[in-house]
Amino acid sequence: MVIWSYNTTPRSTIGESHFLLTYRYEAKVPVEVGAGSLRRDLFIKEDEEVNQRLYLYLMDEARMNSQLKLAAYQQRIARYYNKKVKFVPYKVGDLVLQKVMPNTKIAQHGLLGSNWEGPYKVKAILWKGTYRLDDLGGQLIPRAWNAEHL
């Protein structure tokens, strides 16, 4: 029942329900089928066939509108997130410390263990805030690192 309500409720991000975008018509709630409703009582098959053809004709436009709404929503979320992120620009050759991740932390050190390791040298800037690192011996660190972990 939870999945049914999730799929038939219009999402705020796209303005339509998943069911509507998938099956091209609105779903009826199980209670509405058994107990009856105004929508069910006023149902006229001939009118519904015309409405269904019209709705199918406009379906591509509804899907495009939902994609535009989703893109606008994602931009709003990105703006909100980026307002809170503090960008720290590092240059190639800068020395940085790397945050120790929970999966790489040495359990024997306990709470008093180091939270940072390094120093490392910035080898390359991959993207704004994403860096390739070398240790001081020139050994490449296997993956790229985001500035929030440096």
Are 27 and 79 found together in one domain? Answer: yes
Are 77 and 106 found together in one domain? Answer: no
Contact, 14 vs 69, CB < 8 A? yes
Are 75 and 22 found together in one domain? Answer: yes
Question: What is the share, in percent, of the chain residues with pLDDT greater than 70?
Answer: 72
Residue 122 CB-half CA count within 13 A: 20
Would you state the pLDDT for residue 94? 86
Model confidence at 141, in pLDDT bands (50, 70, 90)?
Answer: confident
Of 8-12, 29-33, 140-144, which one has max mean pLDDT? 140-144
Are 123 and 76 found together in one domain? Answer: no
pLDDT, one tens digit per residue, over 51-72 is: 777 777 777 888 888 889 889 9
Domain region containing 130: 95-149
Are 11 and 72 found together in one domain? Answer: yes
pLDDT, one tens digit per residue, over 63-115 is: 888 889 889 999 998 898 888 777 778 888 888 888 887 767 776 676 777 88
More confident call, 87 vs 127: 127
Rounded Cα gap, residues 31 and 34, in angstroms: 5
Total number of domains in the chain: 2
Are 15 and 79 found together in one domain? Answer: yes
Per-residue pLDDT at 124 exceeds 60: yes
Are 41 and 111 found together in one domain? Answer: no
Are 67 and 123 found together in one domain? Answer: no
Q: Distance of CA 14 to CAs 26, 34, 67, 80, Å?
A: 15, 30, 7, 18
* Within a domain: 39: yes
